[in-house]
Amino acid sequence: MNNKHQVTAIALLSSGIDSTLATRLILDQGINVIALNICFPFENEKADYAGNIAKQIGVPLTKLYTGEDFIKVVQKPKFGYGKNMNPCIDCRIFMLKKARCFALENNADFIVTGDVVGERPKSQTLKALKLEESEAQLKGLILRPLSARLLPRTIPEINGWVDRSRLMAIRGRCRKPQLAMAKNFGIIDFRSPGGGCLLTHKEFSEKLKKLFDYKKDVTALDVKLLKFGRHFHFNSSKIIVGRNKEDNAEILKLKKPGDYVFELIDRPSPITLLEGVKDSCTINHAAKLTAQYAGVKNEPVDVKYEYNNQVNIVNVFP
Ligand code: SF4
């Protein structure tokens, strides 16, 4: 990285409390900070938390959208999964690599993260932090302001760009020190601590595992669809049945050319999407599932299905 000064840092800002405080601590030392928010297909958020936090602490923000590049990491993580399909160590290396490229593009001097030693059992141990740093080729260039005084000195501290004595020595899972700091700084409205992305959820992980078995080149659109409806694998096809109005609307938005859409005629009905092979047996099965989740019992019912603006009707007995 470069020798010009005004010193510049790239802060990985997730909009959670840790990365927000870490960014704020470095801003307070007069460093020029650019926040980078990496957006994953496995997040489930509608609110612009990162934008909101960046405004609150007064830092310019760049959003970087990831898709198939990150899905490939999830399909085959070098360092394995956590409890569910969350490859946290690989994910963090992926983010650091993106931050490194962004730093090079912006002539920045070092990277800031909200890591807290021991906060997460697998990805925030001393050993894991060291591993992540070396895999991302950022040795000595990642400053973790919340735990900095527990960690070896980094290049920004050695060079005197950052005053180590004004950094923190927080360790462990209890977020009380961070909440107190946030109160002091007057920072509100950050994303609530704990949890993780959808990959840490059991039900979502099961759906994803089945999707990886069913399809080799999984796209960001496939992953988006996983967030809505009940998912069934039938022969070489996939059937997705909406669970509520929101699911129905999203499924319609996400349908691809060639997908069939099923719905009951003249009564409340879920929207069902059929992807893959569309033989008569699969069409019948998709129609039956539509009728079943519409609450039809022991009576024949007409289900319409549409493709290429052409409407067909199939009569089924769920
Ligand atoms: S919880 Fe999700 S976003 Fe967070 S590090 Fe793990 S895989 Fe990445």
* pLDDT tens digits along 12-24: 999 899 999 999 9
pLDDT digits (tens, 9 = 90+) for 29-70: 999 999 999 999 998 766 788 999 999 999 999 999 999 999
CA distance 249 to 216: 27
CA distance 150 to 125: 12
Decide if 216 is inside a domain: no
- End residue of a domain, out of 194, 216, 251: 194
pLDDT more than 90, % of the chain = 85
Structural domain for 119, as ranges: 8-194
Which tokens hold the place of 110? Answer: 């070092």
- Same domain for 265 and 188? no
User: Can you tell me the mean pLDDT for 246-253?
Assistant: 96
CA distance 119 to 115: 8
The CATH number linked to 20 is 3.40.50.620
- Same domain for 16 and 96? yes
What stretch of H or E contains 57?
Answer: helix 49-57
- Same domain for 188 and 238? no
Q: Is the CB of 95 under 6 A from ligand 1?
A: no
CB neighbour list of residue 61: distance below 8 Å, 6 or more residues apart: 13, 34, 35, 36, 37, 50, 51, 54
Q: Which of 227, 254, 222 is nearest to 46 (CA)?
A: 227
- Give the pLDDT of residue 216: 87
Q: What is the mean pLDDT of the chain?
A: 93
Decide if 208 is inside a domain: no
Amino acid at 229: G
For the purposes of burial, counting CB atoms within 10 Å of the CB of 268, is it exposed (0-12), middle (13-18) or buried (19 or more)? Answer: exposed
Q: Say which residue the tokens 């999964």 belong to.
A: 81
Decide if 201 is inside a domain: no
- Same domain for 251 and 154? no
Q: Is the CB of 196 under 6 A from ligand 1?
A: yes
302 phi and psi, to 5 degrees?
-90, 130
Q: Is the CB of 92 under 6 A from ligand 1?
A: yes
Q: How far, in Å, is the centroid of ligand 1 from the Cα of 187?
A: 24
- Same domain for 175 and 262? no
CA distance 100 to 98: 5
- End residue of a domain, out of 152, 179, 194: 194
- Cα torsion angle, 294, 298, 301, 306, sign: positive
Total structural domains within the chain: 2
pLDDT digits (tens, 9 = 90+) for 237-249: 999 999 999 999 9
Pocket test for ligand 1, best of 90, 92, 125 (most atoms within 8 A of CB): 92
- Same domain for 176 and 243? no
pLDDT digits (tens, 9 = 90+) for 212-233: 998 889 999 999 999 999 999 9
- Same domain for 83 and 154? yes
Decide if 199 is inside a domain: no
